Amino acid sequence: MKIEIKKSSKLVNYTYAIKFLEERVDDVINEKKPELLWILQHKAVFTAGTSYKKHEILNKSIEIIKTSRGGKITYHGPGQIIVYFVLNLNKRKKDIRNLIRNIEKCIILTLKEFNIKSHYDKKNIGIWVNHKKEVKKVAAIGIRVKKWIAFHGFAINISNNIDVYKKIVPCGLYNKKITNLKSIKKRSYKNIDKLLIKNFLSIFK
């Protein structure tokens, strides 16, 4: 199956990106356009998934954009790579748990290429690392499925500002910390987008 690859070099507005994704979902349902894999970075924004609670906003002055993905509140901004997709599960396996496991596999394989060992957690969705004797979250996953078309995607923290997460309860997790790849290992992650595309396509071919 053909998957269109889209890469944005400039920061992308969140609401624009979601509108684009939702339009592509309809086009895939109507067989007008192919599936999509879109690599980008967002302008700074806090977003709230369908299961968020108001008390998870710790700093009441921040603006929150409600979104159709599953999950709680998170932050997107420069230094964080976003991988959006539109995948037709009608032509694959109609199994959301399997989809999430494959997304986790894609992230873990990619980080392994930078000699960073990471893992998934059955209780807490996302990708985790053992860093400075603590388990910390380095990647978040949030999806929605419409007529077995899966969309939204995942975010990997590379060099983004971690302090902003203090304004929220990230992903609804009170006792878990967030980190980024630069904190774990100071090196260049310039080609991470190419590795993500390679691993994603090998898994979802």
CATH number at residue 100: 3.30.930.10
Question: 10 Å Cβ neighbour count for 40?
Answer: 19
Per-residue model confidence as pLDDT tens digits over 15-57: 999 999 999 999 999 999 999 999 999 999 999 998 999 999 9
The pLDDT > 90 percentage for the chain reads 86
Range of the domain at 174: 3-203
Distance between CA 170 and CA 51 in Å, rounded? 12
Dihedral-angle region of residue 196 (phi above 0 means left; psi in -120 to 50 means alpha; beta otherwise) = alpha
Dihedral-angle region of residue 64 (phi above 0 means left; psi in -120 to 50 means alpha; beta otherwise) = beta
Domain count, the chain: 1
Active site residues: 171
Per-residue model confidence as pLDDT tens digits over 58-71: 999 999 999 989 88
State residue 192's pLDDT score: 97
pLDDT band at 172 (very low <50, low <70, confident <90, very high): confident
Q: Which residues contact 9 (CB under 8 A, 6 or more apart)?
A: none
Provide mean pLDDT across the span 90-111.
96
Residues β-bridged to residue 46: 64, 75
Packing angle between helix 96-112 and helix 192-203, nearest 10 degrees?
A: 140
| Distance from the Cα of residue 24 to its chain's centroid | 18
The pLDDT > 70 percentage for the chain reads 100
Spatial contact of 121 and 189, defined as CB atoms under 8 Å apart:
no
